[in-house]
Amino acid sequence: MIRVHNLTKNYGNLRAVDNISFELEKGDVLGFLGPNGAGKTTTMRIITGYMPPTKGSVRIEDVDIFDHPLKAKKQIGYLPENPPLYNDMNVEEYLDFVADIKMVPSKEKKGRILYVMDKCGITSVSKRIIAHLSKGYKQRVGIAQALINNPSVLVLDEPTNGLDPVQIIEIRELIKSLAGERTIILSTHILPEVTMICSRVIIINEGRIALEESLESLSLNLKSSESLYLKLRRNGDDVKEKIESIENISKVNMSAPGEYVIVPSNGSDVREELTSMAVKYNWGLLELRPLIHTLEEVFLKVISSEG
């Protein structure tokens, strides 16, 4: 459980984070989105106790991270933007060290190390010096490090950064499998990732929350504004008019000669009528598909309306 209350952080005159509040319960996976420099990393650094806020408070499992840092930090696993690795150690030594400083009890340590190495797929490189690992493996060691103390709160700053497509899928699966018992915050700029893993989304821009929604209501919003794309071989002057004559159509735009974007009213399905009309008038139907508003579009809309 994480409670972030009125968080503000100034760097000199620059306000990096401006009055952010949110609450997450066990099982929530929050996707933290925003353009570069929006304040994502700063917020995560404050939540993990790396730096104090100028104003506001953070409670981890009901423990204030600045009043009782040692107690709160025991509950946290944190993967910073750059994985914090000691290049001169091998993977197993490194995880052993992290387990020590994260206060993992010594009798559980061995088991935890084997478990996180297995979970993150780094067992095969356990004896390799970290400096010699590829970027993808380093990232995975970084994730393993964050999991070593079996944290109830997991903060991941761009966890799939630097991974190849197969690894990205593996790590996403891993994060999903970790969710249930934990509270997870992850930042990313790969938007589909949020749709795949997260249960909630916060878009942050210029230090402020620009949008906060559960993924269900977000995708519901996206669906309801679903419009259709129609492409015809033979364009005629009366095509637009004829389409508009169909029932339950609120708007028709010609995006290019022979290409139309059709907005049905209240989510009604007009595809059947459109196809039969195209056949009837011999327009030469080439393409008819739904135009789904992607998270990208929402993101861009939110960000640009803020600016």
Partner 1 sequence: MNSIYPILKREFKSYFASPLAYIIIVVFQGISAWFFFLYLKGFLHIQLDPGFQLQRGELNLNNLVLAPYFGTITLVLLIIIPLITMRLLADERKSYTAELLFTSPIKLRTIILGKYLAAVILLIIMLTLSSINVFVLMVHGNPDIGAIMSGYIGLFLLGASFLAIGLFASSLTDNQLIAAVISFGVLLVLWLVGAMSPVDGSILGYISVINHFEPFGKGIIGIKDLVYYGSLIYLGLFLAHTALESERWR
Residues that bind partner 1 (CB under 8 A): 11-12, 45, 48-52, 69-71, 73-74, 76, 78, 80-89, 97-98, 100-103, 145
CB nearer to partner 1: give 69 or 121.
Answer: 69
- Compute the least distance from the CB of residue 153 to partner 1, in Å: 11
Least spacing, CB of residue 183 vs partner 1, in Å = 16
**Between 136 and 142, CB nearer to partner 1:** 142
Q: Which residues of 132-150 are buried (b: 16+ CB within 10 A; e: fewer)?
A: ebeebbbbbbbbbbbbbbe
Could you tell me the smallest distance in angstroms from the CB atom of residue 61 to partner 1?
13
Q: Which one, 44 or 211, has the nearer CB to partner 1?
A: 44
Assigned token pair, 258: 């022979």
Beta carbon of residue 299, minimum distance to partner 1 (angstroms, whole number): 27
**Nearest distance from C-beta of residue 217 to partner 1, angstroms:** 33
Strand-pair partners of 264 = 249
Per the structure block, which two tokens stand in for 32?
């933290």
Beta-bridged to residue 259, according to DSSP, are 231, 256
Tallying the residues shown for the chain, one arrives at 307
Nearer to partner 1, 45 or 172 (CB): 45
- The residue among 33, 66, 74, 71 whose CA lies nearest residue 47 is 66
Q: How far is the CB of 195 from partner 1 (least distance, A)?
A: 28
- Of 11 and 234, the one with the shorter C-beta distance to partner 1 is 11
Say if residues 24 and 42 touch (Cβ distance below 8 Å).
no
In this structure, the dihedral spanned by the alpha carbons of residues 156, 157, 159 and 164, taken in order and rounded to 10 degrees, is 180
Q: Where are the beta strands (DSSP E) in 130-207?
A: 153-157, 183-187, 200-205
Q: What is the DSSP string of 252-264?
A: EEEEETTEEEEEE
Structural contact between residues 52 and 66, judged by C-beta atoms closer than 8 angstroms: yes
At 297 the three-state DSSP class reads: helix
What residues pair up with 58 in beta bridges, in sequence order? 4
Q: Which residues make Cβ contacts (< 8 Å) with residue 218, sequence separation at least 6?
A: 201, 295, 298
Write down the least CB distance from residue 113 to partner 1, Å.
14
Q: Which is nearer to partner 1, 40 or 73 (CB)?
A: 73
Least distance from partner 1 to the Cβ atom of residue 57, Å: 16
298: CB partners within 8 A, 6+ apart: 211, 218, 221, 222
Phi, psi of 211 (to 5 degrees): -155, 135
